[in-house]
Amino acid sequence: MSIKPVAIVTGASRGIGRGIALELARTHTVIGTYRGRRDAAESLQAECGADILQCDIGSPADRAALIAYAVDKYGRIDLLVNNAGIAPRERKDILEASEEIFDEVLDTNLKGPYFLTQLAARQMITQGSGRVVFVTSISAYTASIMRGEYCVSKAGLSMAVQLWAARLAPHNVQVFEVRPGIIRTDMIEKVKDAYEEKAKNGLLPQNRLGDPADVAKPIRAIADGLIDYGTGTVINADGGFHLRIL
């Protein structure tokens, strides 16, 4: 059993997930999942003491094992951060993209978090409280025709927030969406310089790309219960990208 509140952060070994895990580890027992890069996960563990567990969020068996591990070892789940996500292996125009890659992206980015939340929510209802965060993307509403799978997955995830918030509100389980913009991670490494230039030239009102800590900070507010009366809230962490400026 854990004296600290227990947080699961999926995809915690790198990028945004790592930033979230590092922030939460100051106050929570963190279970950080990883899929392939054990070295990165072990580095996280060494840095902040997080418990690490290999888990493919797209796998029903792995999702069930993750929740069972958390409950068996720590007795509860206070916070689930659905962060794990992948970009398509091939960036192709939607006229040419394959069903295989579409299914691969949606299994990890949408179906996985949706049903992981179902499992975690059952435990949270049993214990009488809990919080769930879905890390989505500006791609939930921004059309990128070279990675349609990713956009569809994030748009679906945004609706999942509303569904779970409505369903779980009577059970003292709050659900939130944190919507990152262009964040400096491995996912954008190949196009980072182009994005940096666009940010400076007006794409982002705040004139800079984000860092993982910019996403972790609103999750800190959620973890601390500062916006519990706002279940279903969408928090933009995007440097003002969502603004419509005339």
Domains of the chain, by residue range, sit at 6-237
Report which secondary-structure segment, H or E, holds 222: helix 212-223
Active-site annotation holds for 129: no
Distance between alpha carbon 138 and the CA centroid of its chain, in Å?
A: 13
At residue 58, what are phi and psi to the nearest 5 degrees? -75, -5
Rounded to whole angstroms, the Cα distance separating 40 from 215 reads 19
- Say which of 114, 139, 150, 158 is annotated catalytic: 150
H-only helix segments in 29-147: 38-48, 60-74, 99-106, 112-127
Rounded to whole angstroms, the Cα distance separating 62 from 110 reads 15
Q: What pLDDT, on the 0 to 100 scale, is given for residue 2?
A: 58
Secondary structure (DSSP) of 136-147:
--GGGTS--TT-
Active-site annotation holds for 111: no
pLDDT digits (tens, 9 = 90+) for 90-125: 999 999 999 999 999 999 999 999 999 999 999 999
Q: What is the pLDDT along the chain (246 residues), one digit of tens a residue?
A: 558 999 999 999 999 999 999 999 999 999 999 998 899 999 999 999 999 999 999 999 999 999 999 999 999 999 999 999 999 999 999 999 999 999 999 999 999 999 999 999 999 999 999 999 999 999 999 999 999 999 999 999 999 999 999 999 999 999 999 999 999 987 777 777 888 888 888 899 999 999 999 999 999 999 999 999 999 999 999 999 999 998
On average, the pLDDT of the chain sits at 96
pLDDT digits (tens, 9 = 90+) for 141-176: 999 999 999 999 999 999 999 999 999 999 999 999
Active-site annotation holds for 144: no
Say whether 4 sits in a helix, a strand or coil. coil
Rounded to whole angstroms, the Cα distance separating 178 from 222 reads 10
- Say which of 137, 139, 153, 158 is annotated catalytic: 137
- Say which of 13, 74, 153, 154 is annotated catalytic: 154
The CATH fold assigned to 6-237 is Rossmann fold (3.40.50)
Q: How many CA atoms lie within 13 A of 222 on its CB side?
A: 31
